[in-house]
Amino acid sequence: MVRRQVPNPREILELVQFKRPSLDARKRRLDAALTIEDLRAIAKRRTPAAAFDYTDGAAEGELSLRRARQAFQDIEFHPSILRDVSRVDTSTSVFGGPSALPFGIAPTGFTRLMHTQGESAGAAAAGAAGIPFTLSTLGTTSIEDVRAANPHGRNWFQLYVMKQREISYGLVERAAAAGFDTLFFTVDTPVAGARLRDTRNGFSIPPQLTVRTVANAVPRPWWWVDFLTTPKLEFASLSSTGGTVGELLDSAMDPSIDDEDLATIRAMWPGTIVVKGVQTVADAKRLADLGVDGIVLSNHGGRQLDRAPIPFHLLPEVVREVGSDLEVTLDTGIMNGADVVASVALGARFTFIGRAYLYGLMAGGRQGVDRAIAILADQVRRTMKLLEVTTLEELGPQHVTQLQRLVPRPRP
């Protein structure tokens, strides 16, 4: 039998706790976001469909992106036990310098379309967190302004070799002069992928005021007010705009680039050179023979060739073949700090976040990027503690099993 009693008012008062309401609406919504998916939901509510879909979408059927994300879900962790993990160290070194966390911000194009603070917000947030920031050739903030936003942090530059080679060469020289220490030579964009969401939305650069875009903007007036009351959208490398993203890429990119272009850029660049967009073991081995400093296993976030290889699946074999010769890093599909930890356990020296950072940017500008980094950092630390490792160096293949979902059929 349970003994009943008259409720004690003092005990009831001890249970009642009211949080002081915050008058800062941005802070309230960002504090409520516990995952990158939560930030994505906020971003979708606050951003016009064309700009959101440009960020969120991928090429054609978007299979490459879905498969990459699924690959991170299809893992099993194997924790150790009875180890003191009261303190963990998430710091690492990559491409000749330090990073406070095992992930950095990937290069993204047209970033001021997502939020007018654009790359400046990303660079400043990266600097505050002690992680690298990578500026895209198709960035909407200049090399020099990114350096001003992140004057003491590590800034990297992602290069497209364009038909007008002098444009690319000039960008290399400017990035070196601004103190950028690492150059990403990108090899997966001979032509633009078919990004069907952009076509269906009538998305162009700059955005056009049509009946459809105005109707979509009505519940999001803050985005258009912000866009129309800030400096004109300009690009780091392109002197002209107008047309879809695919049309701009096809007009600027050169499908004829080859090893000689890599050698030319390498001779010009005084720092670390990394090849971004590697998708086969054979190419990783060839680049190791060419003596590059590192590679990024990437299918461009699923935005180029649909049904492309899954970088996370390639990782273990590439590390076995070339990990002693160059630094192997990874992007595409990372939405959780556990994805980062799994990648490091299977041999990745470093990882990159693209959409995860942009969801935060769209959700709340610089504060939203800070929140995205904080969410991922907390997930990294918690996963390490639950695996009972205290440093990234302690992580190894024994901590992760990649479960099979897509199994290749034997070749004829």
32-45: per-residue pLDDT in tens?
999 999 999 999 99
78, 115, 152, 300: the active-site residue: 300
pLDDT band at 148; cut points 50, 70, 90: very high
Segments making up each domain of the chain, as ranges: 25-401
pLDDT in tens, 348-395: 999 999 999 999 999 999 999 999 999 999 999 999 999 999 999 999
- As a whole number, the mean pLDDT across the chain is 91
pLDDT in tens, 211-230: 576 677 677 877 778 877 88
Location of structure tokens 């595409």: 332
Weakest mean pLDDT among 177-181, 248-252, 315-319? 248-252
115 is catalytic: no
pLDDT in tens, 40-70: 999 999 998 888 999 999 999 999 999 999 9
Q: Is the pTM of this model over 0.85?
A: yes
Fold entry, domain 25-401? TIM Barrel (3.20.20)
pLDDT in tens, 335-361: 999 999 999 999 999 999 999 999 999
- Distance, in Å, from the CA atom of 200 to the CA atom of 233, rounded to the nearest integer, reads 23
Backbone angles phi and psi of 252, in degrees to 5: -100, -40
